[in-house]
Structure 1
Amino acid sequence: MKILVTGATGLIGASLCARLEAEGHEVRRVLRRSRPAGSSKSSDVILDMTEAVRPEDWSSPLSGVDAVVNCAGVLQDNAREKVQEVHAIAASALFRACERAGIKTVIHFSAIGVDRDQPSAFSASKLAGDKALMALDVGWVILRPSVVLGRGVFGASALLRGLAALPLLLAMPNTGRLQVVQLDDIVSTVLFFLQPASPTRLTLELAGPEALTMTELISRYRQWFGWKKATVFTVPGWAARGLYRLGDLAGWLGWRPPIRSNAQKEITRGAVGDPQPWIATTGIHPASLASALAADPATVQERWFAGLYFIKPAIFVVLPFFWIMTGIISLTTGWRNGVELLIGTAVAPHAEAAVVAGAIADAAVGALIAFRPTSRPGLWGAIAISLSYAIAGTILRPDLWNEPLGPLMKILPILALHFVALAILDER
């Protein structure tokens, strides 16, 4: 079959595309932006779903397609993503285009519990997309998974591993139980419904066999990593609210933290459901978290990821702060010291201009690093500036290498930290 998959780089979409291709299907991935040359395919479609809001926008991507799997989803509005546009408006346009094109099979990923309660714009927009599909004359299947876990991790699944690496077992207040489900079972379910004789026009909740608290989930991962039990510490309500607000701010800077206001509202409800209709329809018996972890032992790579999970946001707070404050200090309280450093050197006649230029460059790279779409060029810019300071300092003030506080020596760990940031920048 020729299958169009939206959200093709996400947790579910990427795994699904790989499995479909392995089984001989032709996959047309819908991507918001082009991928690096090594990971791009000639059949890829570059289409931002926040702009594909008319059925006509989908006409070309759907040409010759036999089935559609909509895996697109965003947690919360930010500078680049809009839940209503992606989950409801663009999804509805896609579904109507499928009806016009005569596509018989449309599999749509929603979220568990959205038909019972909509505590946030995330679940409300997901339900709107569900209803738009149900109203059409196509062979639709709506899958509503709980929190999805697998070897690859992103969002909530990555957060669980990061929390497991902390010295204390942090428990957020007012969190419901989760019937986590394994990624392999999700992908197998899609393959079942792509078979010609499979049933259509039904919704299924994809929930695991046991309902666990967040504390229990984190403890299972600590055990999987081979780490000893940790003392449980419940985060005070005021601190939890502050963390969610900080997550919102990071979202508007283009990052995708799983701890945001919509997550707070959704996690209070929990993610539980009845897996029996899923089992009865497909014959798939969802694996428990314990059995999935036991079958796939943790490696050093998993331990590295977990240990770096909360170090990464710390790095991307510290680096912008460092560069922006360096620029501000150079133009204010540190102005005289900066100019005096250049007195007696070859650039002394232009000392003030040099300090101003350096301050502006410092603040600029700090701002670039803080904003996710420009963080990579910002990091490379910071590396270039650091090297230029080292070279210029060696030429103009070589004595600074021998200073007790090491103003030039400190450039070396600064450079190393920027290369670490580049290495862990990608989220998917």
Structure 2
Amino acid sequence: MTILILGATGFIGQQVLLTLSQAGHPVTGLGRDTTQAGARFSAATWIARDLRTLQQAADWLPLLDGVTAVINCAGALQDGLRDDLVAVQRDAMLALQQAVATRAMPPLLIQISAPENLASAGTAFMATKLEADRALAASGIPHIILRPTVVVGRNAYGGTALLRAIASVPGVLPLVDAESPMNVVHVHDVAQAVVDAVEGRIAPGSDLVLAGEPTRSVEQMARFYRRWLGLADAPVMRLPSTLARPLSIAADLAGRLGWRSPLRSTSIRISGIGVALDEGRRTLTAPDPTLRLATEPAAVQDLWFARLYLLKPLMILTLSLFWIVSGLVPLLDPVTTSLRFGASMSEVTAFTVTIFTSLLDIALGLAILVQPWAKRAMLGMIAVSIAYLAGGTLIEPTLWLDPLGPLVKVLPSILLTLATLAVLEER
């Protein structure tokens, strides 16, 4: 008999899978792309499925054979190119509940949700979470709902990664809503709560907030992370909340292109009210998560990650603009541009090559902005750049001596592309 973990490739899901496995439970992880997680946790069974395709009870039934418990660690912050909140957080979960109810011995369904008092931010994230939670509570099937506050750990993703990035800014801590409460819980304590639920130490039907003690402010957590990264303390630069608005608009647009920025409007709205304890809900408190983090000291790669986190979108945008502009400029006067090929190529051929390569540059510059296409676009940029260097050297080697350096400039472009490709992965 096995335990099925939904969203097992995510930050919480991977830790839940590892902790359950260490406790002796056979585990099966389900995720949209299980390639990397499967390599990390080869002892587990893996199923590559997208929750957006599991919208009917019949879709779930084959996945429940031999399953004693289902742990839902899946979720999405906001709708985007790769995410559909209604499909993932509501409809798929309602279908799962219906499928579980048909079993003669229904498995225990453990839902990793969020504190209910965050609903006051009025986000679709919480609305869809709560619809699934309330349906589960009324379903009559064995279940437990766990509501962790902000989850932190040795690794970082999303909002906690952004906080580390802010903490790494040289000489200053730029913060919006610095005094907002921020209760955090360590991912190990969340995973241990799941083990306790599976092994019967938490009663079925429980609906618990998982929180750490004490609650701190955003500023206090940023200062902690700054010390954790080995940096000297710095004064806080209190930024007006109005500054968050244009940032969230840009982040929401990036979300429509598949980029899951922690600056999207859902995060901004939640951070505006803060993540505090829900006084009206039973709470399972865990030890101070910063004490556990202090036993997991940062290394130089953590500082690299923190500082590259803010640079990564700028690197992608720079590459995009570089290639788009490189394609547009020759199109302003393609005839003159084609003359740079010299006598080695006929006028018609040179003109055709100019138009084709300009359009190719623009296409690659636009493609890198779409997250699912970004990796292939960058590989294309590298291949095309090498082709430009080789072709330019063969056709018109004097271009290497051109004062404007049209060929020389390709080399730093390739290096920037390689650096961006190296930090492209999100989890």
Residue 147 of structure 1: CA displacement?
0.7
TM-score, normalised with respect to structure 1: 0.93
State which of 242, 247, 258 in structure 2 corresponds to 1:243. Answer: 247
- Structure 2: state its 5+ residue gaps: none
Residue number in structure 1 paired with 2:52: 50
Is it true that 1:369 corresponds to 2:362 in the alignment? no
User: Could you say if the C-alpha distance between residues 190 and 344 of structure 1 is closer, same or farther in structure 2, counting changes exceeding 3 Å?
Assistant: same
- Matching residue of 2:315: 315
1:257-406 maps to which residues of 2 (within 5 A)?
Answer: 257-273=261-277, 277-279=282-284, 286-332=286-332, 334-346=333-345, 348-406=347-405
CA deviation profile, 1:115-149 (whole Å, cap 9, x unmatched): 76352111111111100110112221101111100
Report the Cα offset of residue 114 of structure 1. 4.2
Identical pairs, percent: 34
Distance change >3 Å, CA 252–CA 93, structure 1 → 2: same
1:427/1:347 CA distance change after superposition, 3 Å:
farther
Give the direction of change, closer, same or farther, for the CA distance of 1:224–1:189 in structure 2 (3 Å limit): same
* Residue 9 (structure 1) aligns with: 9
TM-score (ref. length: structure 2)? 0.93
- 2:78 is matched with which residue? 76
Q: Once the 2 structures are TM-superposed, how far is the Cα of residue 207 of structure 1 from its aligned partner?
A: 1.3
Alignment deviations for residues 125-180 of structure 1 (CA, whole Å, 9 cap, x no partner): 11111001101122211011111000111111111111111132111148731111
Which residue is equivalent to 1:228?
232
**Which stretch has the larger CA shift, 109-118 or 154-163?**
109-118
Secondary structure in structure 1 of the residue aligned to 2:181: coil
- Gap runs ≥5 in structure 1: 280-284
2:152 to 146, 149, 152: 149
User: Superposition RMSD on alpha carbons, in Å?
Assistant: 2.1
Shift of 1:274: 5.6
**Relative to 1, partners in 2 of residues 1:425 and 1:10: Cα closer, same or farther, differing over 3 Å?**
same
Q: Which residue of 2 aligns with 1:282?
A: none
Change (3 A) 1:347 1:278: farther
Q: Which moved more, 1:178-187 or 1:340-349?
A: 340-349
1:195 to 193, 196, 199: 199
Q: Which residue of 1 aligns with 2:409?
A: 410
Residues of 2 paired with 1:240 and 1:414: CA distance? 31
Going from structure 1 to structure 2, the CA distance change for 1:38 and 1:104 (only over 3 Å counts) comes to closer
Matched residue of 1:207: which SS? strand
CA deviations 1:310-363 (Å, max 9, x no partner) are 11011111111111222222212x524421211322354401100011011111
The more displaced of 360-369 and 380-389 is 360-369
Show CA shifts across 1:64-111 (max 9, x none). 111000011100011221112211111111122112123241110110
Question: CA contact under 8 A between 2:154 and 2:293: conserved in structure 1?
Answer: no
Q: Give the Cα–Cα distance (whole angstroms) in 2 for the partners of residues 57 and 315 of structure 1.
A: 41
The residue that corresponds to 1:185 in the other structure is 189
**What is the distance in 2 between the residues matched to 1:40 and 1:368?**
33
Query: 2:126 — aligned with what?
Result: 123
